[in-house]
Structure 1
Amino acid sequence: MSNEEWQGDFDPMADPDEQRHLLSVLDSFRSYRRLAHYNGTHVRRQAFYSLPSSHWSLLSKPPFSVLDSLAKIDDLIDANADLAEAIFQTGFKSFIAPTLDSGWVASIVPEKYANNEFEVYSKVMEHLNVKATRNDIDKARSCVHQFYREWSAEGAVERSKCFDPVLEALEKEFRKLSQTDDSLDKSSLRVLVPGAGLGRLVFDICRAGFSVEGNEISYHELFASSLALNHTTKEGQFTIAPFVLHSSNHVSRQDQLRTFQIPDVLPSSELSQVFENSRIPPSERMSMATGDFCVIYSQPDAKDSFSAVATVFFIDTAPNIIRYIETVKNCLASGGLWINIGPLLWHHASRKPATEGDDEGDAKDSKTETYAGAGIADPGSVELTNEEVVALVEHFGFVIEHHEVDNIETGYVSNARSMLQNTYRPSFWIARKH
C-alpha cells in the first residue's frame, strides 16, 4: 500500500464528535480481553456454580470437564485478544499518537511501562476517559472473528465463492481490451472496491496485477485492514479462535475450540513477487480511502475515475440504493464495468427509527458510520427486491451483461461444523455503463 495508509480529505481529529467515536472504537479493541473473559467465561462459571452441587460436581468430571473447557476458552480468548490489541495499537499509532505531547505522555505513564507500547497507549486512553459503546464493542468482536473469512487459509472456501467471480470478470475484461490494444497493461485498469472490509479483496485484485482502491467507512475495518495489509510481519503471525465465544450448536467441544493461523499470506512478500508482471509496483497500485462512499465518489473530481467497480456484500448497506447507483455511475468511466455479488440483507431496516423529540436518532450513532447530513445518513430508506434493484440499475443507463441468482451458495464467517448453518444465495450481476 502507498505510504499514506488512508487517503481522503476527511480529518476525524478535527471534529470533537468524530474524535470521540474514534476513541470509542480504539477502546473497543483495547477492552476485548477484559470483556471477553468476563462475558465468555466469568459469567458462565458463576452460572455453572449456581447449579445444584451434585450437578456441577458431575459436570466437572470427564467426559464433560466443563471447568477444564472454560479454562481452555480463557486461553483462546487471550489469543484473540492479542490480535485485537494489535489492531488497537495500529489505529492509535496512526491517529492519536501524532497529536500527543510527548512531555504530557511521559508525565502520566509509569516508568516501568515506558518501553511497552500497549501500556503507554492504554494509559493515554485512560486519561482521555472515553469508553467504548456497546455497539463498538460488538463490532470489535465481530471484526476479530472476520479475520477467519478474509485472512485464514480455511476462509478461502468462502472467499472463493465471492471473490473468484469478481477476479474472473476483471480478467475477462482485460483480455477483451487487450484484443484492440496489445500494449495494455493490467495496471491501467483502475478498480474501486467500496466496503473493502478487512482488505482481502483489495489485496487479491492488486495481486492479480490491477490497480485498486478500497473504500471503507468503518474505523473497525480500517484499523484491522491496515494491520493485515501493512503491519503483519510473517504468515501465521496470530492465532484466532473465531467460534470460541459461541457456546451453542457445537457437535463436540473441539469444534468450539478450533484455532486458525492468520494471515495465510504475507501481503508485502506476496506482492513483491508479482511486481515483475506489472509496470507499476504494487505499492503504487493499491490504496485505501476512508469515508462515506456516496460522499467521496459522487464528487466532480471522482467522475469517470475507474475502469471497474466491484461491490461484494455491499449494496444492501444502502438506505437508499439510488444513491449508490448514482455514485457508481459518477465514478465509473464510460464503458466501465460494475461487478456486484451479494444478498439483500438491508442493514438499515433493523435500525431504531428516530422518535419525536429525538434529533439524534440511530442514524447518528457515529458520524464516521453515517456522515450525518450527507451520504448514507440522508433521510429516508427503502428495501427492494433483487429484480427491482436490477431494474433500477438499468434505468440509470447500465446494461446488464450477466445476471445469475441461486447458482452460488456461501456462508459468511460460518462454522462448517456447526449444527446451525446460515447460507446465502447471492445475486451476481455484471453491468456496463453506457
Structure 2
Amino acid sequence: MVEGEWNGDFDPLADPDERKHILSVLDSFRSYRRFAHLYGTHARRQAFYSLPSSHWHLLSQPPFSVLDTLSAVDDLIDTNSALAESIFKVGFQGFIAPTLDSEWVASVVDPRHATNEYEVYSTIMDRMNVKATQIDIDKARSCVHQFYRDWSAEGAVERSACFSPILSALEAEFSKQPIELSSDPSNKADIKILVPGAGLGRLVFDICRAGFTVEGNEISYHELMASSLILNHVSKPQEFTIAPFALSSSNHLTRADQLRTFAIPDVHPATELETASEGLRVHAGERMSMSAGDFCVVYNSPEYREHFTAVATVFFIDTAPNVIRYIEAVRNCLQPSGIWVNLGPLLWHHASRPQPSNEESEGVRASGKSVDAGIGDPGSVELTDEEVVKLVEHFGFSIERHETGKIETGYISNAESMLQSTYRPSFWIARKR
C-alpha cells in the first residue's frame, strides 16, 4: 500500500480555483459513461442512419452488422465506466468527503440511496454545481485507457521497453556501493529514489518491489486519483476489465481487434509488496509514497535539498515548458554523486500554449501569489536531445551513458492496428558533480 494517500503541506481545497478544478476532474470520471456513449456510439448511429437507406440496411446485416458492433461498443463503454466510476469514488473520498458536514449530507441524500456510495457522492456533486471541462473529459478517457499500458499483462511489452533500462541502471549503480546490496537486499531501503511524473504509479510500484525506498510525484489529479485506486483500493488481480481500443473505429483489421478486452491489474499490488517485504527490515508500505504537486515547486525547495540518492524519469522531461526548471529541481533534490536516470522522447507538450498578456502577468504579481509558479511560469522552449544533454551537463552533471535509437516502444499501442506509432527514446544516466 502507498503510505497515506497524498503527501505534502499544500491544501488544494483552500484555493477556490483549485477546488473547482478538482471537482471538474471528479465529474470527468463520473461523466465517462455518458460522454462515451454520446460521442462513441450515439453520434455514430446518427451518422449511420444518415446514409442512404439501402446502404445502411445492407451494412446492418452480416457480415458487416454495424449496428451490432455499436451495441457491443456500448457494452464495453459500460465496462470501462466501472473503472472510471471507481476512480471517481476514490477521488471523492480522498479530497471531498473529509470536508463535508454529515448532517448536511443526510439532508440532501435520498435515504433510499444512503448505502450506495456512487449515488451519495453523485448527489453531492450535483449540489456543488461544477461540470467537467472538455479538457478534463478527454483526460479521463485517456487515463482509463492508460491502464492498459501500466497495469495489464499485455502492456508489459511497453513497460519492459521503458522500465527495464531504469531498473537495471538502479540495480547496477547500487550494487557497487560499499555494502553489497545483492548480498543483503534490506540495505536497498536506504536508497531513496524519486519518480517525477509518476502517472498511474507502476514504475513507483516496480521500484519499491525491487526493495528500494521510492517516492512518486504527480501534478495531475486524474493520475493521482487513478493511481490511488490501483495501489490502495483494489482487492484482487484482474478486478476490472477495460476495452482501450473500443472507442476508436479506425485502422482495425477485424472487429474482434477493436473489441478486445484486458484484465487489470495484472498483479495485486498489496499482495506483491507484502511478499516483497518478507525477511526485510523495512516493509514495503513504509518504502513507497506519493506526493501531489508541481515537481518544480516541491522539489526545488530547501525541504528536499539533497534528499534523494537517485531520480528516475520516464516519458517526463518533455512535459516541461522550460526544461531548465526540471533540471534545477533534480539538481536541488539529488545528493552529491547521485544519479539521474532518464528515458523518453521529446514530444514537447507546451510548444503551442498561449502566453499570458502583460496585463495578466501584472495581475499575478499584484495578487501576491508566489513568483515561483513552476510549470505555470510564462515561456516555453523546445530543444533537441543533443541540446538537452548539453544543458544537463551545464548545470553540474556528468553524462555517464547516453544511447539513442536502441530502444523502440509504442505508447498505449494496439499491436493489431494498421497504424503503428513508434518512439525511439533517448536513454541517459547523469551523475551530479
Output the TM-score relative to the length of structure 1: 0.95
Which residue number in structure 1 is paired with residue 74 of structure 2? 74
Q: Give the aligned partner of residue 367 of structure 2.
A: none
Task: State which of 299, 302, 315 in structure 2 corresponds to 1:297.
Answer: 299
Deviations 1:185-240 (A, max 9, x none): 01111000000000000000000000000000000000000001000001000000
Task: Identify the match of residue 326 of structure 2 among 320, 324, 327.
Answer: 324
Q: Tell me if 1:261 matches 2:263.
A: yes
1:401 counterpart residue number: 400
- Report the counterpart of residue 383 of structure 1 in structure 2: 382
1:103 offset after TM fit, Å? 1.3
| Residue 212 of structure 2 corresponds to residue 210 of structure 1 | yes
Q: Which residue of 2 aligns with 1:139?
A: 139
Name the amino acid aligned to 1:165: P
Task: Tell me the distance in 2 between the aligned counterparts of 1:407 and 1:315.
Answer: 19
For 1:88-167, what aligned pairs fall within 5 Å after superposition?
88-167=88-167
Counterpart code for 2:8: G
SS in 2 for 1:214: strand
Please list the CA deviations of residues 127-152 of structure 1 after superposition, one character each: whole Å capped at 9, or x if unmatched.
Answer: 00000000000000000000000000
Identical positions, percent: 69
Deviation at residue 352 of structure 1 after TM alignment = 3.4
Change (3 A) 1:112 1:232: same
Q: Which amino acid aligns with 2:384?
A: T
Given that residues 355 and 379 in structure 2 are in contact (C-alpha distance below 8 angstroms), is that contact kept between their aligned partners in structure 1?
A: no
CA–CA separation in structure 1 for the residues paired with 2:306 and 2:337: 10
Partner Cα distance (2:334, 2:226) in 1: 28
Q: How far off is 1:354 after superposition?
A: 4.0
State how far apart, in whole Å, the 2-side matches of 1:257 and 1:177 are.
Answer: 49
C-alpha distance in 1 between matches for 2:58 and 2:91:
46
SS in 2 for 1:123: helix
Q: Residue by residue, what CA displacement relative to the aligned partner does 1:371-396 show, whole Å, maximum 9, x if unpaired? A: 98511111211111000000011111
The separation in 2 between residues aligned to 1:113 and 1:274, in whole angstroms, is 41
In the aligned structure 1, how far is the partner of 2:133 from the partner of 2:123? 19
Cα contact 2:356–2:378 (8 A) shared by 1: no
Structure 2 CA distance for aligned equivalents of residues 175 and 346 of structure 1: 35
Structure 2 spans left out of the alignment, 5+ residues = 365-369
Aligned equivalent of 1:190: 192
CA contact (8 A) 2:200 2:224 kept: yes
Partner of 2:61: 61
Partner of 1:44, secondary structure, is: helix
Match of 1:31 in 2: 31
Q: Is the contact between residue 229 and residue 268 of structure 1 (CA under 8 Å) also seen in structure 2?
A: yes
Relative to structure 1, the CA distance from residue 233 to residue 372 in structure 2 (aligned partners, 3 Å threshold; closer, same or farther) is farther
Deviates more, 1:392-401 or 1:403-412: 392-401
1:154 partner amino acid: E
Deviation, structure 1 residue 309: 0.1
2:233 to 231, 237, 244: 231
CA distance in structure 1 between the partners assigned to 2:408 and 2:102 by the alignment: 53
1:245 aligns with 2:247: yes
Return 5+ residue gaps in structure 1 as ranges: 364-370
**1:93-147, Cα deviation, whole Å (9 max, x unpaired):** 0110111111111111111111100000000000000000000000000000000
Contact 1:209 1:277 in 2 (8 A): no
Q: Structure 1 residues 275, 360: closer, same or farther in 2, change over 3 A?
A: farther
Whole-angstrom distance in 1 between the partners of 2:371 and 2:418: 41
Q: 1:301: how far off?
A: 1.3
2:390, 2:179 → 1: CA distance?
31
1:420–1:53: structure 2 CA closer, same or farther, 3 Å change rule?
A: same
Distance 1:422 1:210 in 2: 33
Q: Which amino acid aligns with 1:385?
A: T
Are the structure 2 counterparts of residues 40 and 360 from structure 1 closer, same or farther at C-alpha, using a change threshold of 3 Å? farther
Q: Once the two structures are superposed, what CA deviation does each residue of 1:309-333 show, in whole Å capped at 9, x if it has no partner?
A: 0000000011111111111011000
Shift of 1:350: 3.0
Partner of 1:306: 308
In structure 1, distance between residues paired with 2:425 and 2:3 = 36
What per-residue deviation string (whole Å, max 9, x for no partner) do you get for residues 235-268 of structure 1?
0000000001111111111111000000000000
Residue number among 351, 357, 366 corresponding to 1:349 in the alignment: 351
| DSSP-derived class of the 1:177 partner | coil
Q: Tell me the residue number matched to 2:418.
A: 419
Cα separation, 1, equivalents of 2:139 and 2:59: 33
1:360 Cα deviation after fit: 11
Report the 3-state secondary structure (helix = DSSP H, G, I; strand = E; otherwise coil) of the residue aligned with 2:351: helix
8 A Cα contact 1:60 1:66, kept in partner: yes
| Structure 2 counterpart SS, 1:349 | coil
Match of 2:420, SS state, is coil
Residue 273 of structure 1 corresponds to: 275
Give the residue type in structure 1 aligned to 2:344. G
Structure 1: which amino acid aligns with 2:391?
A: L
Q: Is contact 1:354-1:360 (8 Å) kept?
A: no
Residues 271 and 422 from structure 1, CA distance in 2 versus in 1: closer, same or farther, beyond 3 angstroms?
same
Deviation at 1:353, TM superposition (A): 3.7
Amino acid at match of 1:429: W
SS in 2 for 1:191: strand
Secondary structure of the residue that 1:348 maps to in structure 2? coil
CA distance in structure 1 between the partners assigned to 2:38 and 2:359 by the alignment: 36
Q: Distance in 2 between matches of 1:316 and 1:3?
A: 29
Q: CA deviation at 1:2?
A: 4.5
Give the TM-score taking structure 2 as reference length: 0.95
Partner of residue 199 from structure 1, selected from 198, 201, 205? 201
Q: Aligned partners of 2:409, 2:401: CA distance in 1, in Å?
A: 20
In 2, Cα distance between the equivalents of 1:382 and 1:372? 20
Check whether the contact 1:313–1:342 (CA below 8 A) recurs between aligned residues: yes
